[in-house]
Each structure stands twice: as structure tokens, then as C-alpha cells.
Amino acid sequence: MTQVKENSTIQENKKLAHEECPVTYVMEKIGGYWKPIILFHLLAGSKRYGELRKSIPGITEKMLIQHLKQLEADDLVIRIAKPVVPPHVTYSLSKSGTALGPVLYAMAVWAVKDSKENNKPFFKDLEGFPPIGKQV
């Protein structure tokens, strides 16, 4: 008698997972491709929307603000809009967001080392790092 596999419980398991695995908790908040990149670019201090866009040339405007909104909703970044025209909006890391500094910094360190060992160093060095705690 052929048994039915229980993939059906996966959805329920997934809901419980973030209560057990810390990294799962992190992924629920900053999982995906863009969020860590955006956060990294805010690590050096607050930036205006346009600055952020220029410093991440690979992202589309849609993705950028979509993720900024999400990050704001998750209390990782803070949005401050001056009521002027043309608009003036700055984004910065919240307390939670700032606390991700060590994670992002560890990533940067790994990237530099790993790319070197693969004979593809893309970054001379982490000049000016760590910017952690330098919060503007």
C-alpha cells in the first residue's frame, strides 16, 4: 500500500519555524535580494531617496520604494519627509536597523575575503569601515 507523503504540513511547519530558528526570524525580515543591500547603503548614515537610488544603480525605482516601505513597516528604517516642494525625503536606520550593522559588516568582510580567494577581488579594501555607530 503506497503511503501519501506529508508535504501538506509544510505550511503549518513554516509558521512555527521562526519560533525555533533564529536565522528564519531574520529571513522573515530581511530575506530576499534587495533588503540587505539597501540597509548596507544606509549604514554610513541617512540618505535621501535620490541618493539611495544613485548609490544602488542596479535597482529599479519600483523595487527601491517597495522595499523601503516594507523596511519602514518592519521598523528597520525611518522615513522623514520635509513638507516642501519639490519633496525632500530622507531615510535612515532605526534602532533595530542599526543593530543589523554587525551582520552587514560581517557580510562585507566575507565578501572581500572570499572574492580575493577566488581571484576576483572587486573591492580594494574596506576603506572607511566600519561605519557602524557613525549614524548621522
Q: What are phi and psi of 33, to 5 degrees?
A: -90, -45
Site stretch for DNA (CB under 7 A), options 18-26, 77-85, 105-113, 124-132: 77-85
Asked if 11 touches DNA (CB under 7 A), the answer is yes
CB contact at 8 A, 107 and 76: no
Q: Name the residue nearer to its own copies (CB basis): 10 or 136.
A: 10
CB contact at 8 A, 71 and 77: yes
What grid cell was written down for 11?
505550511
Q: How far is the CB of 83 from its own copies (least distance, A)?
A: 26
With CB under 8 A as the contact rule, the residue among 2, 20, 119, 127 that binds its own copies is 20
- Residue type at 82 in one-letter notation: K
Asked if 59 touches DNA (CB under 7 A), the answer is yes
Q: Name the residue nearer to its own copies (CB basis): 80 or 99.
A: 99
Consecutive H or E run containing 80: strand 77-82
Residues 6 or more apart whose CB falls under 8 angstroms from that of 31 comprise none
Asked if 45 touches DNA (CB under 7 A), the answer is no
**Residues within window 30-69 making contact with its own copies, judged by CB under 8 A:** 31-34, 36-37, 40-41, 56-61
